[in-house]
Structure 1
Amino acid sequence: MRKFNAENERIKREYLIYLREAKGQDESSLDKVAAALLGFEEAIGFKPFKAFRREWASKYKTYMKRRKNARTGKSLGVTTRDASLRLVKAFVEWLSTQAGYRTRITYSDAAYFNNNAREARAAHAQRPVAYPSIEQCDHAFRQMPENDVFARRDKAVFALLMLTSARDGAVASLRLGHIDLVERVLYQDGREVKTKNGKYIESNFLPVNPMYRSCLERWVTYLRKDLMFGPADALFPKAEMGTPTGKFAVAGLSREPYANGQKINQIFKSAFLSAGMRSFSAHTLRKTHAMLMDKICDTMEDRKAFSQNMGHEHLATTISAYMPVTLERQREIIRNLGEKGEQ
């Protein structure tokens, strides 16, 4: 049975309420905080937070280094450990301002939860991430089957990702009313669609192969005319379970969307694996589109419009996050610049 400290549970609950109501953090972020705090309690033997000692920071660091990933069985990576340390540090900072704790914990005590400089650099270092080329995407898409309604849905999912660069979580929550085939626009209203930070994004269809738009149009037409789906029904509905043959099984398409982007990501990955290639997550497609931007955009205004289409308020976000320059490319560029300077 899991151990717990009633007093700690109360103050943790207050902290999570503070993060949700005052800081606007979503449930997934709160789950990460709760997990980090539970790990901290396990490291200190569930002692009351009011008995705080600076040495607890060292105990937690040691605990994190010894922990194993539940899925892989391997030690936790430096990025995971660094993130957990930062979450606990923020909690201790907040705790130092609370009645009943501020006489026992000082704000500076939280600094003991800082990672060492070497591991902090390693945790935040940018690493090259593989992403598919436009040609690989086209090939994977052409190999996707259309033999049943679920296969056609999955192919339409791939098509929409290619056309809009929308995030998988947002795509999972889309409804028919969010897409305009005439204007070729996907409206991602953060009040209805699970966009990052609840942003409003208008994603005009990108200049990719016309086969993607044709596929998506066929799917939307099928939903509207054959299944009589309306604006409030899911654009990519999950399977509906029932007992059409007396046994509990898939009975068709529900009118409800998926709860998160897991299925969308799975569809994208599977398309590449089935085509005999390595798998790519749906998020890596945003790098593909960023490189497309660099290839076809001639002016800064072009790039700014493309960046906004991806949901970024600042062009710098697109460039820094999705257009990394490898060391090899850096070397090549500087050498070329040197040759130009010598002329």
Structure 2
Amino acid sequence: MRKVNEENERIKRRYLKYLKAAKRKDPSTVQKAADGILKFETSTNYASFKKFHIEQVIKFRDRLNEEISKTTGKPLSKSTIATILAANKGFIFWLADQAGYKQRVRHTDADYFNMDAKGQRVASAVRESPYPSLEMARHAFNYMPEVSEIDQRNKALFAFFMLTGARDGAVASLRLKHINLIDGCVYQDAREVKTKNSKTITTFFLPVDDEYLTCFIEWVTNLRTEKLFGPDDPLFPPAEINVIDGAFKVVGLKREIYKNANAIRQAIKEAFTRADLPAFTPHAFRKTLVKWADTHYPTRQAFKAFSQNIGHSSVITSVSAYCPISIEEQGELIKKKKKRNEDD
């Protein structure tokens, strides 16, 4: 059981409430802030924040640079360190305005949590992340079994990701009423669906592969006509598990949405590993689809429509985050330009 400073706990609760209620931060962002502040507090042996001084921050930064991740067994990444420091910088800046702390903490004290310029460049550097090609995705899809209801659900889930590029958190919270098979779209209503930044998105099914659409339509039809699921029932329901003959067995589907996207991520990973491919996550599909769209929507207006379709307010986000030029492509394009100049 960890040590607790009750005075610190009270002021931290106030700050986290401020982030959630006033700054409207996502729960995951609030949790990261809480984790980062706790890490700093631990480094001071839970000393009162009223005894804050910059030497604590200097020692804390040095400790972060030396710390070994329990998950990877390697030093903390620069991006992880940057996240931890940013969490504490925001907290200390806020603390400087709070009664009981104003005389002890100044706004400029928060600057000591800044990362050095070199570390910041490393932390913010864009790196290529692996993603499945269209052929790899179709190969994994074809390998998925269709024997049980859970098998059928997982295959429809895979198809849905390829049709929409939706984020897994949103998909986990979708209900049947959000699906419009007539117009071929899903209405991600932020009042009910856990979209990023609570953004309402209308996503039309992408014409990537007819097999995906057929699979998904069959799943929705089955839920509505065979399982008699209604509008408020989940699009991808969790498994209903009971004890039968002393063992846990799947007996059907629940009429409730997932609490998080963990099971959905696992289902997609298993689909790829079953086909002897890397365990890609659902988010990797977004890059697959952006690469596909880069060819299939060549005009500025068409690609803007695609970008909007996957929930991006700006085409720049789609291009910079999901469609970077690889080193190989960079070399090929530069060499082609040189060759054209020589030919001229």
Same fold, TM exceeding 0.5? yes
Shift of 1:246: 6.5
Letter in 2 for 1:27: P
In the other structure, the counterpart of 1:262 is 262
1:254-298: CA deviations, max 9, x gaps?
A: 011211121221111111111111221111111111111111112
1:38-58: CA deviations, max 9, x gaps?
A: 111110111111111111111
1:203 aligns with 2:203: yes
In the other structure, the counterpart of 2:332 is 332
Shift of 1:75: 2.8
What is the alpha-carbon distance in structure 1 between the residues aligned to residue 65 and residue 10 of structure 2? 28
Q: TM-score, normalised by structure 1?
A: 0.96
Q: TM-score, normalised by structure 2?
A: 0.96
Shift of 1:108: 1.2
SS of 2:65's partner is helix
Q: How does 1:1-343 map to 2 (within 5 A)?
A: 1-243=1-243, 245=245, 248-341=248-341, 343=344
What is the alpha-carbon distance in structure 2 between the residues aligned to residue 322 and residue 35 of structure 1? 29
What is the alpha-carbon distance in structure 2 between the residues aligned to residue 276 and residue 45 of structure 1? 48
Shift of 1:105: 1.4
Shift of 1:245: 4.7
SS of 1:242's partner is strand
Letter in 2 for 1:103: Q
Shift of 1:247: 5.3
What is the alpha-carbon distance in structure 2 between the residues aligned to residue 58 and residue 68 of structure 1? 18
SS of 1:79's partner is helix
Letter in 2 for 1:259: K
SS of 2:228's partner is coil
What is the alpha-carbon distance in structure 2 between the residues aligned to residue 212 and residue 257 of structure 1? 22
1:196-231: CA deviations, max 9, x gaps?
A: 011111110101111111111111111111111001
Letter in 2 for 1:7: E
Shift of 1:303: 0.4
What is the alpha-carbon distance in structure 2 between the residues aligned to residue 249 and residue 275 of structure 1? 25
What is the alpha-carbon distance in structure 1 between the residues aligned to residue 180 and residue 245 of structure 2? 38
SS of 1:241's partner is strand
Letter in 2 for 1:33: A
SS of 1:282's partner is coil
What is the alpha-carbon distance in structure 2 between the residues aligned to residue 201 and residue 264 of structure 1? 20
Shift of 1:248: 5.0
What is the alpha-carbon distance in structure 1 between the residues aligned to residue 244 and residue 219 of structure 2? 24
Number of aligned pairs? 343
Letter in 2 for 1:101: Y
Preserved CA contact (<8 Å) 1:243 1:251: no
Letter in 2 for 1:113: F
- Computed over aligned residues only, the root mean square deviation of the Cα atoms, in angstroms, reads 1.5
What is the alpha-carbon distance in structure 2 between the residues aligned to residue 185 and residue 202 of structure 1? 7
Shift of 1:73: 3.5
Shift of 1:242: 2.7
What is the alpha-carbon distance in structure 1 between the residues aligned to residue 235 and residue 148 of structure 2? 17
Preserved CA contact (<8 Å) 1:40 1:88: yes
What is the alpha-carbon distance in structure 1 between the residues aligned to residue 228 and residue 97 of structure 2? 57
Identity %, equivalent residues: 46
Unaligned ranges ≥5, structure 2: none
Unaligned ranges ≥5, structure 1: none
